[in-house]
Structure 1
Amino acid sequence: MLILSLTYIASLERADAVMAGHIDWVNAGYDKGWFLASGRKVPRTGGLILAKGDRAAIEAYLAQDPFVTEAVARYEVMEIELSRTAEGLDGLTG
């Protein structure tokens, strides 16, 4: 599993101006079957995406996020190997 941690490097006004394109990009990540959960950080300093799939392909996809191409945010990618999950989340391991 990959944890994609997005941190804003520009103002919230710039982030809001690019948000529609970013949301379309996020939705396409779900359509590809890569993204499992996503949301804003609190306080609003960026966001987080839980993803599953080929790391190289997902990292290449991150470079296409309008937040990245418009220099609004940067990503940190962390990979974890889950060994246990709560009931109902069995599909996340392995």
Structure 2
Amino acid sequence: MFVITLRYLAELDRIDEAMEAHKAWVDGQYDDGVFVASGAMVPRTGGVILAAGLERPELEARLALDPFLQKELAEYDVVEFAPRRVAPGLERLQG
């Protein structure tokens, strides 16, 4: 499992211009079963994504396709961890 933090490198007006393309990319990751949660940081300086069910090289290849990254609007930090305990209903996250 991965905790991914995305930090904006540009002003919010530039982020907003690319948001629809970013959301479409995010939707594709959900459709593929890779992302399990995502959302904006508070305050809005970036975002957080939880991903599971893939190896790090595949995750990095997918992240490279994010329009935010391709347009140099954001950067990612990826932390991999092995969940030892999860809430009921989230057992699939234990891999």
Q: Normalising by structure 2, what TM-score? A: 0.95
For 1:60 and 1:22, locate their aligned partners in 2 and report how far apart those are by CA, in whole Å. 15
Q: Aligned ranges for residues 1-94 of structure 1 at < 5 Å?
A: 1-52=1-52, 53-94=54-95
CA–CA distance in 1 between the matches of 2:86 and 2:33?
19
Listed as ranges, the gaps of 5+ residues in structure 1 are: none
Segments of structure 2 that go 5 or more residues without pairing to the other structure are none
Q: CA deviation at 1:12?
A: 0.6
Equivalent pairs counted in the alignment come to 94
Instruction: Name the CA distance, whole Å, in 2 between partners of 1:29 and 1:88.
Output: 20
Aligned CA RMSD, in angstroms, stands at 0.8
1:80 counterpart letter in structure 2: F
Runs of 4+ in 1 over 6 A off after TM superposition: none
State the one-letter code of the partner of 1:84: R
